[in-house]
C-alpha cells in the first residue's frame, strides 16, 4: 500500500479531510459568515429581479404591457400607491417566490428563441400567455391581489352599489378576484370575452 | 375627350371627398367593440337585450336622428352621470377610459357604434 501525498489527492478528498490547522470555532464562524454572505447575495439578487426596472429592461414587456399599464389605476391614482409587476405576478412568501422565479426562467428561453420579440408575435400569443397567468392566479386564490384588497375591507357606504353587491355575491360563492377581474393592468386579449360580458348576438 | 376627362376628375374628387369626410371615417366597429370590451360595458349592457342597463339598441333608438346624438352619448360616457338600474337603484355610470387617456375620438367612435345598432 502506498501513501499518497494529500496535495496530490482529488479536490473532494481534500475537502473531506479534517482540518489540522483551524479550530472548530473558527470553522463554524467562517461557515456562519460565508452563509450570511451567500444568503444575502442570493436574496438581493432575487429581489433585484422583482423591480419594475428589471421587468421592463426587455423590450418585449417595455413596448407592450408596460405601455398599457401606465394608463391604469395600478400605476397612477389619487392616493399615490403603485403596484408594480412583481406585486401582482410574484408571490411574496419566499418558497412560492423561489418556485415562481424558477418557472420564470422559461421566459429566458422565450427571449432567446424570440417567441414574442415583435408586437405582432406578442399579440398573437397574448391570449395564451394571459390564460397561463390567470390560471396561476386562480390556483393561488388571487393571493397577490389579496395582499392589498379584501372583501372584508370593502365599505358598503364607499363602494358603488352594484360592485358591492357583486363582491358580496362573489365572497359567498367562494370566488377570488381573478374570477371576474382580468385585464386590470393591461388590455384584454382581442376577442376575449370576460365572464358576464358574453353577448350571443355579437 | 376633354369633357370626359373633366368629368372623370370631378368624380374622383367627389369620391375622395366622400371617403375623407368625418362620417365615412367615423365608425370603426372593431375599435368600438374593443373599447366596449376593455371597459366592461357588456357587464351591464347587451346589443339588443336589457341587462342592468338598457340595450345598445334602446339607446340607439332614443338618440337616432337627433342632431346632437353622438355628443349626448359621449356626455353620458364621460361625465359619470347618475343612472337608474333595472332593479330601480341608482348609481353613477362608469366613465369610459381610453388608452391614451381622454381620447375623445375613441369615445365618439363608440357612440357612433351604439347608434349604428339596428333591430334584427
Output the tens digit of pLDDT for each of chain A's 202 residues: 556 665 667 888 888 888 888 999 999 999 999 999 999 999 999 999 999 999 999 999 999 999 999 999 999 999 999 999 999 999 999 999 999 999 998 888 989 999 999 999 999 999 999 999 999 999 999 999 999 999 999 999 999 888 899 999 999 999 999 999 999 999 999 888 888 887 777 7
Q: What is the DSSP string of B14-54?
A: HHHHHHHSHHHHH--HHHHHHHHHHTTGGGTB-SSSBSSS-
User: Contact B47/A183, CB-based, under 8 Å?
Assistant: no
Candidate from A160, A190, A193 with C-beta closest to B91: A160
User: Contact B99/A160, CB-based, under 8 Å?
Assistant: no
Residue A62: name the closest of A71, A49, A74, A53 by CA. A53
pTM above 0.90, yes or no: no
Residue A199: name the closest of B117, B12, B2 by CA. B117
For chain A, say whether B51 makes contact (Cβ under 8 Å): no
Nearest CA in chain A to B42: A197
For chain B, say whether A201 makes contact (Cβ under 8 Å): yes
User: Contact B38/A187, CB-based, under 8 Å?
Assistant: yes
Find out whether A202 and B48 touch, Cβ atoms under 8 Å: no
- Helix extents (H) in chain A: 11-16, 24-48, 52-55, 59-62, 65-69, 85-89, 94-113, 119-139, 143-146, 161-172
Q: Determine the distance in angstroms separating the CA of A81 from the nearest CA of chain B, rounded to an integer.
A: 19
For chain B, say whether A161 makes contact (Cβ under 8 Å): yes
Q: Write the CB contacts of A68 (distance below 8 Å, at least 6 apart in sequence).
A: A185, A186, A187, B99
**What is the per-residue pLDDT across B13-60, written as a single tens digit (0 to 9) for each?**
444 444 444 444 579 999 999 999 999 999 899 999 999 999 999 999
Residue recorded with cell 371597459:
B39
User: Contact A162/B33, CB-based, under 8 Å?
Assistant: no
Candidate from A71, A198, A199 with C-beta closest to B100: A71
Candidate from A161, A188, A201 with C-beta closest to B37: A188
With 0-12 / 13-18 / 19 or more C-beta atoms within 10 angstroms meaning exposed / middle / buried, residue B102 is exposed
Amino acid at each position: 500500500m502506498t501513501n499518497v501525498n494529500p496535495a496530490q489527492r482529488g479536490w473532494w478528498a481534500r475537502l473531506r479531510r479534517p482540518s489540522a490547522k483551524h479550530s472548530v470555532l473558527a470553522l463554524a464562524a467562517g461557515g456562519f459568515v460565508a452563509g450570511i454572505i451567500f444568503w444575502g447575495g442570493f436574496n438581493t439578487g432575487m429581489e433585484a429581479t422583482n423591480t419594475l426596472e428589471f421587468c421592463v429592461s426587455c423590450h418585449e414587456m417595455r413596448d407592450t404591457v408596460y405601455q398599457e399599464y401606465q394608463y391604469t389605476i395600478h400605476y397612477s391614482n389619487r392616493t399615490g400607491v403603485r403596484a408594480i409587476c412583481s406585486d401582482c405576478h410574484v408571490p411574496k412568501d419566499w418558497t412560492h417566490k423561489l418556485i415562481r422565479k424558477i418557472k420564470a426562467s422559461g421566459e429566458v428561453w422565450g427571449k432567446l428563441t424570440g417567441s414574442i420579440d415583435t408586437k405582432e408575435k406578442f399579440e398573437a400569443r397574448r391570449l395564451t400567455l394571459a390564460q397561463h397567468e390567470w390560471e396561476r392566479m386562480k390556483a393561488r386564490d388571487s393571493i397577490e391581489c389579496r395582499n392589498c384588497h379584501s372583501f372584508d375591507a370593502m365599505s358598503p357606504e364607499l363602494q358603488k352599489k352594484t360592485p358591492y353587491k357583486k363582491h358580496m355575491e362573489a365572497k359567498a360563492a367562494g370566488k377570488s378576484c381573478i374570477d371576474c377581474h382580468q385585464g386590470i393592468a393591461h388590455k384584454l386579449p382581442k376577442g376575449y370575452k370576460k365572464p358576464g360580458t358574453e353577448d350571443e348576438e355579437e | 375627350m376633354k369633357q370626359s376627362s373633366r368629368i372623370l376628375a370631378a368624380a374622383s374628387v367627389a369620391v375622395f371627398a366622400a371617403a375623407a369626410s368625418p362620417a365615412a371615417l367615423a365608425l370603426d366597429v372593431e375599435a368600438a367593440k374593443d373599447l366596449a370590451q376593455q371597459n366592461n360595458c357588456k357587464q351591464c349592457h347587451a346589443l339588443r337585450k336589457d341587462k342592468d342597463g338598457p340595450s345598445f339598441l334602446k339607446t340607439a333608438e332614443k338618440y337616432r336622428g337627433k342632431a346632437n346624438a353622438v355628443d349626448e352619448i359621449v356626455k353620458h360616457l364621460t361625465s359619470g352621470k347618475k343612472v337608474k338600474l333595472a332593479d330601480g337603484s341608482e348609481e353613477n355610470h362608469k366613465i369610459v377610459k381610453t388608452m391614451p387617456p381622454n381620447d375623445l375620438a375613441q369615445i365618439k367612435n363608440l357612440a357612433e357604434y351604439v347608434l349604428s345598432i339596428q333591430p334584427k
